[in-house]
């Protein structure tokens, strides 16, 4: 573990970095949060709390490939977590990977049918798949 004298190293440790990262997310500073939470995740790779915050920060900062990676790790660590599957499906759909996206969105919707945003996004992705398979769209 690097010493506190390392240039560019924020003060504190993973818990403080998580708290500051969450505060940055709440303040709309997703890119700064992602930087801090990436460091926290490197120090505490088994913490799903840190990983979940990192997924949000990467997605909100526009790092969709990074969000896919983080959401995939979160879904692997917590397979019964509807949010992990929804975030993974949402991120995959933003990358145009609709076939994989629909699988995770359907899983999230099955886990939490009471969440209207899950059903809405699942419908949108399924409609996109149907439109792309239409004979009118070569």
What whole-number distance in Å separates Cα of residue 120 and Cα of residue 127?
11
pLDDT band at 59 (very low <50, low <70, confident <90, very high): very high
Q: What's the mean pLDDT in 14-39?
A: 96
User: Does the pLDDT of residue 68 top 80, yes or no?
Assistant: yes
Q: What angle do CA 13, 16, 22 make, to 5 degrees?
A: 135
Q: What is the DSSP string of 50-81?
A: HHHHHHHHHHHTT-HHHHHHHHHHHHHH-TT-
Evaluate whether 63 touches 34 at the Cβ level (below 8 Å).
Answer: yes
Task: Please give the model's pTM, rounded to 2 decimal places.
Answer: 0.87
Q: What is the pLDDT of residues 82-127, one digit of tens each?
A: 999 999 999 999 999 999 999 999 999 999 999 999 999 999 999 9
Residues 6+ apart with CB under 8 A from 108: 82, 83, 85, 86, 89, 115, 118, 122
């Amino acid at each position: 573990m690097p010493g506190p004298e390392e240039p560019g190293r924020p003060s504190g440790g993973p818990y403080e970095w998580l708290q500051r990262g969450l505060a940055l997310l709440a303040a709309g500073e997703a890119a700064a949060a992602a930087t801090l939470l990436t460091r926290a995740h490197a120090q505490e790779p088994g913490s799903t709390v840190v990983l979940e915050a990192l997924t949000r920060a990467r997605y909100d900062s526009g790092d969709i490939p990074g969000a896919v990676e983080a959401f995939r790790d979160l879904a692997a660590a917590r397979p019964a977590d509807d949010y992990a599957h929804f975030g993974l499906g949402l991120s995959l759909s933003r990358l145009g990977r609709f076939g994989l996206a629909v699988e995770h969105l359907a899983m999230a919707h099955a886990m939490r049918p009471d969440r209207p945003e899950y059903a809405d996004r699942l419908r949108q992705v399924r409609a996109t798949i149907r439109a792309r398979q239409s004979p009118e769209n070569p």
